[in-house]
Structure 1
Amino acid sequence: MPEVYKFGGASIRDADAIRHLGELLTRQVPPPRALVVSAMGKTTNALEALLDAARGDDSGGYRERLAALRDDHLGVAAALFGTDAPVAADLERLLAALDAAHRRHRDAPYPVHYDHTVGFGELLSTTLVAAWLDEIGLATRWCDARELIVTDDRHQAAGIVWDETCARLTALATRDQRLLITQGFIGATAAGAMTTLGREGSDFSAAILAHCLDAEGLTIWKDVPGVFNADPRRVDNARQLERLSYAEAVEQSWHGAKVIHPRTLAPLQRKAIPLTVRSFLEPEATPSRIGPEPGDGDRVPACILRDDQRLLDIRPADFRFMDEGCLGEVLGHLARHGLHANFLECEAMRLRLAIDARPRACRELLDDLGEAYRVEETCGLTLLTLRHPDAALRQALVGDLPVVTEKATASTAQWLLPSDACPERWRLP
């Protein structure tokens, strides 16, 4: 089975980018079997703001944001196809469905309302991309991921029902030989409730397709040529890693490296499907490859930065030990609100963890912890994680910076630092 391709929002941010995507696909020999596409540009952020406006009873703000979303997508359609293009009617139907979903779910719990709102970004983008590919002569089959990716009902971070998902995808690929194009990030329960797979989850969607279709490989097309040992936008001398193992890629993505979504690699590893990260801006540039065998990326020190961190120092209010029961309770609350412990350190009577500073989720987490725990918060932090560090690297990056807390294992060291004390640009030794 040929490869599965995934394109992120930057690769379809406007009409010119979609044209470029079409040109790139026409040059691929053999062509991919399936295409997974994210929402356009910053659409997911716009939909999250739309949701907040809706739930805040700001009807004027909601309508203005919905109109802006409509203008963005219809503007791209007009730039690609001219006025009165048939795809415009398809976009209007989706926008009407989005508005109806908002009204239907506005009193539902936030995670349910979130999934029935934010997932529309991918439905809109794939409608545009599929229409353009058909326009340039690439026969496509637009597929609704809600009919293919079957999940449980854990909204905002849904789990996959693998047997049913594989059965549906295999049946579709058998009966239709056209290029399959579908949405990243979204799925649905067996009962049809829309779900999402976690923020930035389109990579995971592509891995699901590759796994179920027994693809020869998965290629994720990015605006960078591959995986780096640090973010080249923040670290002056970051270097590209040409090869690294599934295990090392999982470690780096779990700690916050942004090139690959953390859930992407498990379904690929189970079938030894290689993952290639390639630049859609420079498709001939040397890519990065992730597979079963270790490579240079398993040895080279890596630097990972996460901003906007909030440190929670949690202690049982009744002077209990922070035992397995307390840990399970606290981490269960964390999972329910879609939060990830980026830093975690446990002592006899305290648990310290760092989470992304997402105001709504953090507020709801603290409400859940309630009177059973005393919580002290420290905000405005940056989490620095080093993989395979040596003494010279630790000194060069941390040096005399004020450290809020730190921990280290044989292969990983982490520091929580005040963001206002960190340099704007970092440099590896």
Structure 2
Amino acid sequence: MKIFKFGGASTKDADNVKNVLSLISQTSEKDLVVVISAMGKTTNALEEVLKDYFSGEKETKHSLKVVYDFHYKILIDLFSSTSHYVFGKLNSIFEELKYFLDTNKSKNHAFVYDQVVSYGEIISSTIVSVYFSENGVKNTWLDVRQCIKTDANYQDASVDWEKTQQKISVRVNTKGITITQGFLGAEHTNNFTTTLGREGSDYTAAIFAYCLNAESVTIWKDVPGVLNADPRFFNHTQLYNHISYREAIELAFYGASVIHPKTLQPLQRKEIPLYVRSFINPTAPGTCVGKGVSLDPMVSSFILKTNQVLISLSSLDFSFMMENNIGDVFKLLHEYRMKVNLIQNSAISFSVCVDNKFDNLEPLLSKLRENFSVKWNENVTLYTIRHFNPTEVKALAENKNILLKQESKETVQLVIKE
């Protein structure tokens, strides 16, 4: 049994859906779980629906039509006639979404987010499954929410591994091709839809691999594999042939975008190799993440995280920042769901660089001001270099406004105000 995961770029239009079918045919794999993300930028488009829904100023009719028309165009290009039953399926899914929006009474943004945004994966996996069937690739469509059980921490749910293992063991046939959704789960009390965090489809693939004792996981992307830097921001990038689990976890922790941070732990526990390969050039070997050498080739990794917030705290009476103070800060960071990417402290100050992805900065700052003197910088960029050399650091820092620098034996981090 192998697990294939296809992201939004791989199914962003009809030609790419056809390419996915061709790719699977070329691999000749017979026993697969195929994890499908929402098509193209559908998640972003559904977030616009949600924005309109909560603003109260706009009707959702227009933003919903944008999402519908995008998928309708793909169906027109894939299927010969609008009388094909898949068009009815698309209409039914959208009617279900509209019904939820019309009848929902919850004001919990995270809850509503998960119920609405989840439709991207439901639609994409349905289209891919039907298209495969129409073209001779027999498959079973599986609602992943019947398998992956979580807590009710909407937008970033934690997996209940025992219940998930039981469900997957019963519902997934280890023979043949199963097509399912990434990113989604369901909380085990009321079965409301949950999501595993943005880019959580990689994690979904790892969950299935772990529970099925899969031979491998392959993530198909629009890049050749894991590169030593993001080609959108850096020139002359290099492909890694092999990365150890440990190094990949380090890179994911620091924010490397190719592999989701949660993906690697379950794979490492059972030593299941992870391949990152190109759906544009599927015969190329890509990158293998597994046991063995740390990096091949051994070149520096450059990681960039934009839209960060640097928060600097000091005690109001200039007393030392001790364990109890820092403990209070971390409790608040957890409460306001801030992802901490860098920490630095001295006798009387404490600084953190965080992701404000849940838009909780203002209430957090208000709470911190009760006990600390607070300074902050928004829209800063965090650069991380693994296995750096001084020349690279000097070149990166040249003519930049460096707010904070931190260096260890293998890693240097720079917080820069662009």
TM-score (norm 1): 0.91
1:309-345 Cα shifts (integer Å, max 9, x gaps): 2212234557665444443443344334443112222
Aligned residue identity for 2:404: T
Aligned residues: 416
For residue 260 of structure 2, what is the aligned residue in structure 1? 261
For residue 33 of structure 2, what is the aligned residue in structure 1? 34
Q: In the alignment, does 2:212 pair up with 1:216?
A: no
Q: Distance in 2 between matches of 1:49 and 1:312?
A: 29
Q: Distance in 1 between matches of 2:153 and 2:325?
A: 22
Structure 1 stretches of 4+ with a deviation exceeding 6 A read none
For residue 144 of structure 1, what is the aligned residue in structure 2? 143
For residue 307 of structure 1, what is the aligned residue in structure 2? 306
Q: Distance in 1 between matches of 2:383 and 2:6?
A: 28
8 Å contact from structure 2 (residues 300, 388) kept in 1: yes
8 Å contact from structure 2 (residues 339, 356) kept in 1: no
For residue 403 of structure 2, what is the aligned residue in structure 1? 404
Q: Distance in 2 between matches of 1:92 and 1:327?
A: 52
Q: In the alignment, does 2:159 pair up with 1:160?
A: yes
For residue 426 of structure 1, what is the aligned residue in structure 2? none
Among 181, 184, 208, which residue is 1:183 paired with? 181
378-387 or 317-326: bigger deviation: 317-326
Q: Distance in 2 between matches of 1:253 and 1:415?
A: 17
Structure 1, unmatched stretches of 5+, are: 420-429
For residue 422 of structure 1, what is the aligned residue in structure 2? none
327-336 or 382-391: bigger deviation: 327-336
1:168-226 Cα shifts (integer Å, max 9, x gaps): 1111234x733111111110111202111111110000000011010000000000010
8 Å contact from structure 1 (residues 226, 278) kept in 2: yes
Please report how far the alpha carbon of residue 109 of structure 1 lies from its aligned counterpart in structure 2 after TM superposition. 2.0
Please report how far the alpha carbon of residue 270 of structure 1 lies from its aligned counterpart in structure 2 after TM superposition. 0.5
Report the RMSD for the aligned CA atoms in angstroms: 2.0
Please report how far the alpha carbon of residue 358 of structure 1 lies from its aligned counterpart in structure 2 after TM superposition. 4.1
For residue 424 of structure 1, what is the aligned residue in structure 2? none
For residue 58 of structure 1, what is the aligned residue in structure 2? 57
How high is the sequence identity, in percent, across the aligned residues? 36
8 Å contact from structure 2 (residues 302, 386) kept in 1: yes
Q: Tell me the SS of whatever aligns to 2:24.
A: helix
For residue 279 of structure 2, what is the aligned residue in structure 1? 280
Q: Distance in 1 between matches of 2:323 and 2:90?
A: 50
Q: Distance in 2 between matches of 1:114 and 1:306?
A: 24
8 Å contact from structure 1 (residues 313, 351) kept in 2: yes
Please report how far the alpha carbon of residue 366 of structure 1 lies from its aligned counterpart in structure 2 after TM superposition. 3.3
- Shift in alpha-carbon separation, 1:179–1:392, aligned structure 2, 3 A: same
Aligned residue identity for 2:73: G
Q: Distance in 2 between matches of 1:283 and 1:74?
A: 28
1:105-133 Cα shifts (integer Å, max 9, x gaps): 45332221221121221111111111111
Aligned residue identity for 1:203: D
1:83-110 Cα shifts (integer Å, max 9, x gaps): 1221122222222222333345453322
Aligned residue identity for 2:187: T
Q: Distance in 2 between matches of 1:331 and 1:102?
A: 36
205-214 or 97-106: bigger deviation: 97-106
Q: Distance in 2 between matches of 1:25 and 1:332?
A: 47
Structure 2, unmatched stretches of 5+, are: none
8 Å contact from structure 1 (residues 317, 372) kept in 2: yes
Please report how far the alpha carbon of residue 151 of structure 1 lies from its aligned counterpart in structure 2 after TM superposition. 0.6
Q: Tell me the SS of whatever aligns to 1:19.
A: helix
Q: Tell me the SS of whatever aligns to 1:386.
A: strand
118-127 or 204-213: bigger deviation: 118-127
For residue 68 of structure 1, what is the aligned residue in structure 2? 66
- Shift in alpha-carbon separation, 1:373–1:125, aligned structure 2, 3 A: farther
8 Å contact from structure 1 (residues 6, 203) kept in 2: yes
TM-score (norm 2): 0.93
Q: Distance in 2 between matches of 1:48 and 1:25?
A: 31
8 Å contact from structure 1 (residues 383, 416) kept in 2: yes
Q: Tell me the SS of whatever aligns to 1:99.
A: helix
- Shift in alpha-carbon separation, 1:158–1:22, aligned structure 2, 3 A: same
8 Å contact from structure 1 (residues 383, 414) kept in 2: yes
Please report how far the alpha carbon of residue 379 of structure 1 lies from its aligned counterpart in structure 2 after TM superposition. 2.0
Q: Distance in 1 between matches of 2:325 and 2:56?
A: 37
